[in-house]
Amino acid sequence: MRSLLQLAWTEFKLNLRDPMMVFWSLAFPALWLVFNAVIFRQPIPGSGYAGLNYASFLLPGAIGIVILSASFIGVPMTMTTYRETGVLKRLRATPVKISTLALSYSISNLVFVIAGVFLLFVVGRIFFDIQVLGSWAAFAGMTFFGMITFLAIGSAIGSIAPSFRAASIIIWSLFTPLLMLSELFLPIAILPAWLQPIARVLPLTPLNTMLRDIVYGVPIEDLWRLGLLAGWAIFASIITIRFFRWE
């Protein structure tokens, strides 16, 4: 436990000194929320949500961006950097286990996610009167479940990427499509018919949809979305276990 907490604290301090991590995990989601909430006042027709302002409609997407950024930037880039610089090789000679190492990354990124979500609520409540009509416990649980899923995907990327440069290419190749196709601010219904099934199975889509249902107090009936998130987490974990390398 002591080694776990020490590793997590060290990783958190290193992430806090990384301008890219701070910008994409904290500043960018808040700026994205403010920018879109100022421009658009009402949910886009056909979204299926009504009763709250557009900032509340955007909140789940902004939280998804926090989780996506913290997981994709914080985990794979750290893993590949440590592998290239020999840090993982030296850690292998210590009693530290892979599970301890992965959990320390998760804890350090969890702090970033909590800080990012808190910042969104502060900005949203002060400037846009954001509300959550559903269960706060369900909202927190869904956010945590989404974080676990994306941390697993980030670990998988860090395991298969042979270098820091390769990890960067993979991350940004996935980052943009996830932002554009996961119904963060545009309903999937307006996408081309051939693209809609692809958009629905992307991991950020079920997370965003279920968080939005909770925000609007809509009963969660499509539990297959939870299964889809769990499937992504299991698949990514298998990839990590199969391809993780110390050096």
Burial 190-209 (b: 16+ CB within 10 A, else e): ebeeeeeeebbebbbbbbbb
Q: Which two tokens stand for residue 163?
A: 């270098």
Quick: pLDDT tens for 192-217: 888 888 988 999 999 998 998 888 88
The predicted-structure confidence for 73-132, as pLDDT tens digits, reads as follows 878 888 888 888 887 777 777 766 666 777 777 788 888 888 889 999 999 888 888 888
Band of pLDDT at residue 149, cut at 50, 70 and 90: very high
SS3 label, residue 133: coil
How many domains does the chain fold into? Answer: 1
Other CB atoms within a 10 A radius of the CB of residue 210 amount to: 23
The Cα 59–Cα 98 span in angstroms is 34
Q: What is the pLDDT of residues 24-59, one digit of tens each?
A: 888 989 998 898 888 876 655 555 666 677 888 889
> Which range marks the domain in which residue 43 is found?
2-243
DSSP codes joined into one string, 80-107 = HHHHHHTHHHHHHTSS--HHHHHHHHHH
The span from the CA of 232 to the CA of 156, in Å, is 11
